[in-house]
Amino acid sequence: MITTTIARKLAMALSGLFLILFLGQHFTINMTSVFSEKTFNFLSHFMGNNLVVQFILQPLLILGVVFHFVMGFVLEIKNTRSRSVKYQSYKGSANASWVSRNMIISGIVVLSFLGLHFYDFWVPEINYKYIEFLPQDPDRYYGELVHKFHSPFRVAIYALSFVFLSLHLFHGFSSSFQSMGLNNKYTRGIKLFTVAFSLVIPAGFIFIAIFHHQNG
Amino acid sequence: MNLKLKIWRQANAEAKGKTITYSISDISPDMSFLEMMDMHNEQLIQQGEDPVAFDHDCREGICGMCSMFINGEAHGPDRLVTTCQLHMRKFKDGDTITIEPFRANAFPVIKDLAVDRSAFDRIQQAGGFVSVNTSGNTQDANAIPIDKHDADKAFDAATCIGCGACVASCKNASAMLFVSAKVSQYALLPQGKVEATDRVLNMVNQMDEEGFGNCTNTGACEVECPKGISLENIARMNRAYLTASLKG
Smallest Cα distance from A48 to chain B, Å: 36
**Residue B165 scores a pLDDT above 70:** yes
Q: What is the ipTM of this complex?
A: 0.93
State the amino acid at position A12 in one-letter form: M
Number of domains observed in the structure of chain B: 2
Mean pLDDT of chain A: 95
Which positions in chain B touch A92 (Cβ < 8 Å)?
A: 72, 171, 220
Closest CA to A7 of B110, B163, B201, B227: B201
How does pLDDT run across B199-215, given as a tens digit for each residue? 999 999 999 999 999 99
DSSP for A46-82 reads HHHH-HHIIIIIHHHHHHHHHHHHHHHHHHHHHHHHT
Give how far B205 is from chain A: nearest CA, Å: 7
CB contact set of B200 (below 8 Å; sequence gap of 6+):
B127, B183, B187, B237, B240, B241, B244
Residue B73 per-residue DSSP state: E
At residue A216, the pLDDT reads 76
Q: Are B245 and A1 within 8 A, CB to CB? A: yes
Q: How deeply is A168 buried, as exposed, middle or buried, from its count of CB atoms within 10 A (0-12, 13-18, 19+)?
A: buried
* Any domain includes A83: no
Query: Are B162 and B42 found together in one domain?
Result: no
CA of A83 vs chain B CAs: smallest distance (Å): 5
Q: Is residue A185 part of a domain?
A: yes
pLDDT tens readout for residues A182-200: 999 999 999 999 999 999 9
**Model confidence at A1: pLDDT above 60:** no
Could you list the residue range(s) of the whole structural domain that residue A34 is in? Answer: 15-78+99-215
Closest by alpha carbon to B237, among B195, B193, B176? Answer: B176
CB contact under 8 A, B220 and A92: yes
Residue range of the domain that includes B40: 3-111
How many Cβ atoms sit within 10 Å of the Cβ of residue A32? 18
Do residues B27 and B90 share a domain?
A: yes
The tally of CA atoms less than 13 A away on the side-chain side of residue A197 is 20
Element (H, E) at B97: strand B96-101
Question: Residue A75 is nearest to which of B69, B214, B238, comparing CB atoms?
Answer: B214
Stretch among A56-60, A118-122, B62-66, B82-86 having the lowest mean pLDDT: A118-122
A9 contacts B205? CB cut-off 8 A: no
- Name the residue facing B72 among A4, A89, A101 (closest C-beta): A89
In a domain, A10, yes or no: no
Q: Residue B218 is nearest to which of A7, A100, A182, comparing CB atoms?
A: A100
CATH number reported for the structural domain that contains residue B39 in this entry: 3.10.20.30
Nearest CA in chain B to A80: B172
Are B155 and B106 found together in one domain? Answer: no
Question: Distance between CA atoms of A174 and A10, rounded to whole angstroms?
Answer: 13
CB contact under 8 A, A83 and B103: yes
Q: What is the pLDDT of residues B63-122, one digit of tens each?
A: 999 999 999 999 999 999 999 999 999 999 999 999 999 999 999 999 999 999 999 999
Cα A66 from Cα A7, distance rounded (Å):
17
Of A150, A152, A166, A169, the C-alpha closest to A205 is A166
| B60 plus B33 within the same structural domain | yes
Classify residue A4: in a domain, yes or no. no
Confidence of residue B134 (pLDDT cuts 50, 70, 90): confident
Nearest chain A Cα to B223, which residue?
Answer: A95
Chain B residue with the nearest C-alpha to that of A177: B235
Whether residue A103 lies within 8 A of chain B, CB to CB, comes out as: yes
Regarding whether B12 and B103 lie in a shared domain, the answer is yes
A91: nearest CB among B72, B232, B237: B72
Question: How many folded domains does chain A comprise?
Answer: 1
pLDDT tens digits, one per residue of A137-187: 999 999 999 999 999 999 999 999 999 999 999 999 999 999 999 999 999
The alpha-carbon gap from B137 to the nearest alpha carbon of chain A, in Å, equals 38
Residues B15 and B47 in one domain: yes
Q: How far is B57 from chain A (nearest CA, A)?
A: 25
Tell me the mean pLDDT in the region A26-41.
97
Cβ–Cβ gap A178/B224 under 8 Å = no
